[in-house]
């Protein structure tokens, strides 16, 4: 026999009456802390402090301590010169170019590179990007994310941003997929399953795919343009909220319903769990991302060697230079970006352009297309109409953002 909803609740009540005794509750330090972090007057400053602290740790730990202080020295000072010495064939050979160093022309002479950004071989740039820059970034990000997750801070943040996100048709809980996406878009997109309506899921997935850079990409951006990265985030945030607002108006599916969300009590994180999660996520990165970075290097290398890249660059030059105001050389990173965004950002470094063009390219790389892994999951999670909607949004956003940035650059005289 199955009970009706009312009769079942009635039975629950009767069972509870007999078995549960709720004593006097004594508020503890945890409750005080919980109060401080959700009340807007104190919660917003706390949230800003938490995010700022998160960012500083990310920059200092990943960027300064490991990448600059350790890996740059190892890769540029020892690994690259050593490979240049012992690897057979030498400069000018196609295999050497693919694996170690493509070199560059100086006064008509092919010269060897002196750093791993410019060499562009699988064993040099590929490994440097994957291990020297992205790995420390991933570790730093997931260490702090794990702490925030286990304490139970994220639901509090969700409560705080609920009002703002409701204006764009999303629920405060959207902060969870967004935060996860800042590590990697793939688990971020999966996490949208907790949202209630199809419309919310579609909007959230679109916004994540278009505007949220992943941890690997952020690590590279921080390494490449530390002074401008704040502007990149601001541009993306404006897009996230603005496009969200528009999508909410134009996409059918009605208003966003109120979801009741549990805010769990704060818990003391255990190092065991944080360590285990960090390990699962970092080893996942190694298994999936590193091969893709190296594969990306090979594919781009082959496109260059066969001259295909030049054809693509020539074909897209009018679009890139006239509409977006960036050099046609950025086509190579845009191609690589389909596979790995971190690799793509790294490929911008050797291209000659102004700081503003570099900034524009970094923003375009973020929004022009999600990486393949994310796109594959999007196809799984959305129906064809939603995928078309997502792609249409993407194209419109790229042209509007690229055009506006080009306009701003022209007015500012930054070319």
| Interacting residue ranges for other proteins, rule: CB under 8 A | 1-3, 8-9, 11-16, 18-26, 28, 146, 149-152, 154-155, 173, 176, 190-191, 193-196, 201, 261-262, 264-267, 270, 273, 276-277, 280-281
**Minimum distance, C-beta of residue 289 to other proteins, in the bound complex (Å):** 17
Q: How near is the Cβ of 398 to other proteins at its closest, in Å?
A: 29
CA atoms of 210 and 394, how far apart (whole Å): 7
**Residues in the chain, overall count:** 415
The two most distant CA atoms of the chain are separated, in Å, by 90
Considering the complex, what minimum distance in angstroms separates the CB of residue 155 from other proteins? 5
Decide if 102 contacts 94 (C-beta within 8 A).
Answer: no
At closest approach, how far in Å is the CB of 286 from other proteins? 15
HSE on the CB side for 218, CA within 13 Å?
25
| Residue number with CB closer to other proteins (25 or 384) | 25
Task: Check if the beta carbon of residue 134 is closer than 8 Å to that of residue 140.
Answer: no
Nearer to other proteins, 103 or 155 (CB): 155
**Which pair of structure tokens corresponds to residue 191?**
């996490």
Helix (H) or strand (E) holding 372: helix 372-381
Instruction: Give CA–CA dist 120/345, Å, rounded.
Output: 13
Whichever of 150 and 342 has its CB closer to other proteins, that residue is 150
What does the alpha-carbon distance between residue 410 and residue 181 come to, in Å, rounded to a whole number? 33
CB of 163 to other proteins, least distance (A): 19
Work out how close the CB of 241 gets to other proteins at its nearest, in angstroms, rounded to a whole number: 23
Residue 265 or 318: the one with the smaller Cβ distance to other proteins is 265
Give the residue with the Cβ less far from other proteins, 139 or 154: 154
> Using an 8 Å Cβ cutoff, are 169 and 248 in contact?
yes
Phi-psi region of 89 (alpha: psi -120 to 50; beta: other; left: phi over 0): left
Inter-residue long-range contacts of 345-352, CB under 8 Å, 24+ positions, other chains counted: 345/217, 345/220, 345/221, 345/224, 346/117, 346/125, 346/129, 346/133, 346/220, 346/224, 347/120, 347/300, 348/224, 349/117, 349/118, 349/224, 350/104, 350/117, 350/118, 350/120, 351/327, 352/327
In 10 A of CB 117, how many CB atoms? 22
For other proteins, the closer of residues 16 and 111 by Cβ is 16
DSSP reduced 3-state for 104 = strand
Q: Which is nearer to other proteins, 68 or 381 (CB)?
A: 381
Least Å distance between CB 363 and other proteins? 30
Closer CB to other proteins, residue 214 or residue 309? 214
Q: How far is the CB of 43 from other proteins (least distance, A)?
A: 16
Which one, 179 or 401, has the nearer CB to other proteins?
179
Give min distance, CB of 3 to other proteins, in A: 6
Residue placing its CB nearer to other proteins in the complex, 102 or 274? 274
State the nearest-atom distance from the C-beta of 199 to other proteins, in Å. Answer: 13
Whole-number Å distance between alpha carbons of 33 and 263: 13
Dist CA 69 CA 64 (whole Å) = 6
Q: What is the DSSP secondary structure assignment for residue 333, as one 8-state letter? A: H
User: Minimum Å distance from CB 216 to other proteins?
Assistant: 19
Of 2 and 352, CB closest to other proteins: 2
Residues 6+ apart with CB under 8 A from 96: 87, 88, 89, 90, 121
């Amino acid at each position: 026999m199955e009970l009706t909803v009312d009769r079942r609740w009635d039975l629950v009540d009767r069972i509870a009456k007999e078995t549960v005794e709720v004593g006097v509750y004594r508020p503890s330090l945890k409750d005080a802390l919980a109060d401080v972090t959700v009340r807007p007057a104190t919660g917003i400053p706390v949230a800003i402090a938490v995010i700022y602290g998160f960012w500083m740790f990310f920059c200092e730990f990943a960027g300064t301590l490991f990448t600059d202080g350790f890996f740059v020295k190892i890769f540029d000072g020892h690994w690259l010169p050593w490979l240049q010495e012992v690897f057979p064939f030498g400069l000018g050979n196609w295999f050497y170019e693919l694996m170690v160093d493509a070199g560059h022309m100086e006064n008509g002479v092919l010269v060897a590179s002196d750093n791993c950004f410019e060499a562009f071989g699988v064993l040099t740039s590929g490994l440097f990007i994957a291990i020297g820059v992205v790995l420390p970034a991933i570790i730093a990000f997931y260490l702090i994310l794990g702490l925030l997750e286990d304490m139970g801070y994220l639901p509090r943040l969700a409560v705080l941003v609920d009002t703002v996100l409701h204006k764009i048709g999303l629920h405060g809980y959207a902060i969870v997929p967004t935060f996860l996406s800042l590590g990697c878009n793939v688990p971020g997109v999966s996490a949208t399953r907790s949202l209630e309506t199809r419309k919310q899921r579609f909007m959230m997935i679109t916004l994540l795919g278009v505007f949220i850079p992943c941890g690997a990409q952020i690590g590279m951006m921080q390494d490449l343009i530390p002074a401008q990265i704040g502007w990149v985030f601001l541009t993306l945030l404006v897009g996230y909220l603005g496009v969200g607002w528009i999508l909410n108006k134009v996409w059918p599916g009605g208003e966003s319903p109120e979801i009741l969300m549990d805010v769990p009590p704060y818990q003391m994180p255990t190092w065991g769990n944080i360590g285990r999660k960090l390990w699962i996520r970092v080893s996942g990165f190694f298994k999936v991302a590193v091969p893709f970075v190296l594969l990306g290097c090979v594919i781009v290398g082959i496109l260059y060697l066969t001259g295909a890249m030049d054809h693509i660059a020539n074909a897209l030059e009018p679009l890139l230079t006239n509409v977006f105001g960036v050099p046609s050389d950025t086509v190579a990173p845009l191609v690589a970006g389909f596979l790995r965004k971190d690799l793509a950002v790294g490929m911008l470094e050797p291209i000659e352009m102004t700081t503003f063009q570099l900034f524009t390219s970094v923003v375009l790389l973020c929004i022009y297309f999600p990486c393949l892994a994310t796109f594959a999951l999007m196809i799984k999670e959305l129906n064809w109409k939603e995928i078309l909607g997502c792609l249409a949004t993407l194209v419109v956003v790229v042209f509007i953002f690229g055009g506006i940035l080009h306009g701003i650059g022209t007015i500012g005289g930054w070319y």
